[in-house]
Amino acid sequence: MDITTVADDLVVIHDGLAVRRYEGLEPDTAHDLDGVVVRTLPRPGGELLCRFATVNDVHFGEVEAGRIDDLSEGPIRRAAPGADPYPEVMNLAAATEITTIDPVAVIVKGDLTADGERIEWDAFEHCYREAFDDRLHVVRGNHDAYRHQSDYAGDQFIGLPGVIVALLDTAIPGATTGTISSEQIEWLDDVCTSADRPVFVMGHHQQWIGSGPDAQRSDDYFGLHPDASDALDALAVRRTGIVAYAAGHTHRHRVRRMERSGVPSIEIGCTKDFPGTWAEYRVYKRGIMQVVHRMSTPEALVWSESCRGLYSDFGIDYATYALGTLDDRCFIIPLC
């Protein structure tokens, strides 16, 4: 049983394919929900200014989940013969659920495709552009640029009620790792200088942080290069309007703190397999609430549950790694 989602008014519990959803709850209160005690999040002060959503690692065109390079170990999961491709099943469920919150923006943080093929871009656009039109904002990830493609390249300024999202293109064409150039740091500095509201930075690659298990400094680090990660942290020290950095890439939920600024460095799990999630952000005057949702259509749950054991041949507990803790998924980012 997993307590997958907690907001100020909502709790969702998944138990295999069974879903228990409790709505209209009081904020910051311990609730006994059919024998499970869960405390809702406090509601930040001030009015609710907007809601927006993010997804990442949606991987249209992928046909094998759990494969690492050309290795035969896994287990490797595939859609059943004759079944719809699992990226389409999972992303349709995500897009459908996201529409229920009527977001002012939907931000896709990279790895839109398996290999940046035109048929994969078209499948992505059919799912998300048709649902959200000009509310959709997209940046590429490493899977979208392995063959030096330029689709969805470039940084974006996204002005929303109560918050500015600065969406960074962290991809290095032809590479798995990512970076933020000095020119991008200058651009972000200019955004912060003129900002009249908090700045929430997003990109595909997660940050290198020099304490903890990722402390070995190397440009082979799976996420942002260490120098680029430090530059982002240094900017957050100088520009206190930066309130968070959120990424994908790792297919996990995790929150760390930048070493110098203390700003949250967030990772959001993938949409295309376990646990199959999207993130909602509720922007209030005094805080931003992150609420991670697990897609709960029967088809999405059957697929995501079948992916709990991915990478077990390598000794990895993927379910624990990918889901993270409840505090990694649902929390408040305070605003001054």
Is residue 18 within a helix (H) or strand (E), and if so which, with residue range?
strand 18-23
Contact at 8 Å (CB) between 80 and 89? no
> What tens digit of pLDDT does each residue of 186-224 get?
999 999 999 999 999 999 999 999 876 667 888 889 999
- Angle 118-132/86-99 helices, nearest 10 degrees? 20
Backbone angles phi, psi at 273, to 5 degrees: -140, -140
CA gap 35, 92 in Å, rounded: 33
Would you state the pLDDT for residue 210?
84
Instruction: Collect contacts of 317-323 with beta carbons under 8 A, ≥24 apart.
Output: 318/274, 319/274, 319/275, 321/252, 322/251, 322/252, 322/253, 322/269, 322/270, 322/274, 322/275, 323/2, 323/4, 323/253, 323/269, 323/274, 323/275
The DSSP call for residue 178 is B
Model-level pTM?
A: 0.96
Count, residues in the chain: 336
Q: Indicate the average pLDDT of the chain.
A: 96
Q: What percent of the chain has pLDDT over 70?
A: 99
- Residue 181 exposed, middle or buried by CB count within 10 Å (0-12, 13-18, 19+): middle
Mean pLDDT of 13-37: 97
Six-digit token string for 27: 């904020």
Contact at 8 Å (CB) between 60 and 124? yes
Mean pLDDT of 166-189: 98
